[in-house]
Amino acid sequence: MEKRVSFKSKKTRDLFFKNVLGIHKFNRWKDLILKFKIPRKTLEGYRNGRLTLPETFYNQIIPGFDEESLIYFKKNIFYLDSNWGRVKGGRITYSKYKKIFDKGRIKGMKFINKNRVRIPRFDTNLFLSKELSYFIGLFIGDGFTNKYWEYYLTQFTGDKNKEKVYYEKIISPISEKLFGFLPKIKEEIKTNTLRVNFYSKDLFLLITNRFKIKTGRKSKTVLIPEEILNSNEDILLSCIAGIYDAEGCFYFDNRKSYKFPYPAIALHMNNPQLIQQISNIFLRNKIKHSYTSNYSTLYIYGKEDVSLFLSKIKLLNPKYTPKIEMLKKI
């Protein structure tokens, strides 16, 4: 059975279906129902979140989305295995027969621990360098950490086609330098997604205990940690570079009203407090910017201001390279 697609928030789901109407030039939902031959109640379930989308249906309706939209939605959906309902039922069974399941898991863990490669330990009080601050910024933008039984997982996700080199050639060496080990990078062929996995209790403790970032979903509440905020400006700007490398968007407005393509860098986080933090830091560094009234998106416009931003915020993600080269030519 195929996987199911679910959205990380109602806002993302509503934006997705609004885009579907626009891309396919539908004037009403009935047009979508007729084209894709799905029952009205089923579509209502997809739109209100009661039902998850079959992967095949999701792939049918996204052709025509622009590149930036595809990247945004790829980062704001998640896939459920075909047996996700049975897994949920399994959790209920587990709660009833916890002791029996625990004995089996302990036995299985002993076998796994005996045969797996050991992850080196490291001191979570390591020096707050620019590299560590950058890593935490990347985590703020696109990271996830949690504990599963005796396993500790920290994970980033990325675009397999556009960010494989970034995670293999840039983030992996940073990890090895800081923590003494490399992440396990897994490619999901069907979704063109990278899963960059760090299996380390010490990294989990570094993020949650030292930097006070909560486990699980955190996009609407996470803030730049106090330790980084109170450090020197180079450390702080490195953290912001990590955030932008995860969630930033560099584009050119090609409308005829502009003599040359008009450059802009946007950061959409749906996290007003974080956007305000970054805005305050930009004001201190004289980086001109604007933001939406609800503090969900921060913008930097024009060659002069974008160039100033790039001179202070050292972006490492190669996804920006073509745009930076284009900026030099205008």
Tens digit of each residue's pLDDT (9 = 90 or more) over 142-158: 999 998 877 899 999 98
Alpha helices in the chain (DSSP H): 10-23, 29-36, 40-48, 55-61, 67-75, 84-96, 98-115, 130-142, 160-165, 172-179, 201-205, 226-229, 233-247, 272-284, 303-312, 321-329
Please say whether the beta carbons of 153 and 146 come within 8 A: yes
3-state DSSP call for residue 217? coil
Domain of 93? 84-115
* CA 319, 207, 6, 45 torsion-angle sign: negative
Tell me if 121 is assigned to some domain.
no
pLDDT for the residue 2: 64
Report the distance separating Cα 309 and Cα 291, nearest Å.
15
Q: How far is CA 301 from CA 103, 246, 247, in A?
A: 59, 19, 17
Q: Is residue 124 part of a domain?
A: no
Torsion of CA 267, 272, 278, 281, to 10 degrees: 150
For residue 12, give the nearest of 277, 235, 296 by alpha carbon.
296
Residue 226 in any domain: the answer is no
- Say yes or no: 211 and 267 in one domain: no
Same domain, 190 and 254: no
CA angle 22, 28, 31 (to 5 degrees): 90
Residue-wise pLDDT tens digits, 234-251? 999 999 999 999 999 999
In a domain, 319, yes or no: yes
Q: How confident is the model at residue 85 (pLDDT cuts 50, 70, 90)?
A: very low
CB 157 within 8 A of CB 194: yes
Tell me: do 212 and 247 sit in the same domain: no
Q: Is residue 252 part of a domain?
A: yes
Final residue belonging to a domain, choices 203, 218, 233: 218
Indicate whether 102 and 60 sit together in one domain: no
- List of residues 6+ apart from 189 with CB closer than 8 A: 160
pLDDT value of position 1? 54
The verdict on 195 and 257 lying in the same domain is: no
Report, as an integer, the average pLDDT of 127-135: 96
Which residue, 219, 268, 248, is CA-closest to 315? 248
The verdict on 16 and 75 lying in the same domain is yes
CA-CA distance, 325 to 96, in Å (whole number)? 60
Here the CATH number for the domain that contains residue 309 is 3.10.28.10
Q: Are residues 212 and 277 in the same domain?
A: no
C-alpha span between 291 and 297 (Å, rounded): 6
Mean pLDDT of the chain: 85
Check whether residue 45 and residue 102 sit in a common domain: no
- 309 or 8, higher pLDDT: 309
**Which DSSP state fits 319?**
G
Percent of all residues in the chain with a pLDDT value above 70, rounded to a whole number: 88
> Both 10 and 61 in a single domain?
yes
Kind and range of the H or E element at 250? Answer: strand 248-253
pLDDT value at position 260? 84
Task: Inform me whether the pLDDT recorded for 6 exceeds 50.
Answer: yes
How far is it, in rounded angstroms, from Cα 186 to Cα 329?
37
Flag whether pLDDT at 201 surpasses 90: yes
Q: Using CA atoms, how far apart are residues 66 and 76, in angstroms rounded to an integer?
A: 16
pLDDT score for 89: 44
Does 151 lie in the same domain as 192?
yes
Domain count for the chain: 4
308 and 253 inside one domain? yes
146 is a domain residue: yes
Q: Is residue 164 part of a domain?
A: yes
Boundary (domain end) residue, out of 218, 233, 268: 218
pLDDT at 42: 87
Q: Is residue 225 part of a domain?
A: no
Extract the tokens encoding 317: 């993600």
How open is the CA angle 35-37-42, to the nearest 5 degrees? Answer: 120
Looking at the structure, do residues 16 and 73 belong to the same domain, yes or no? Answer: yes
CA distance 86 to 309: 49
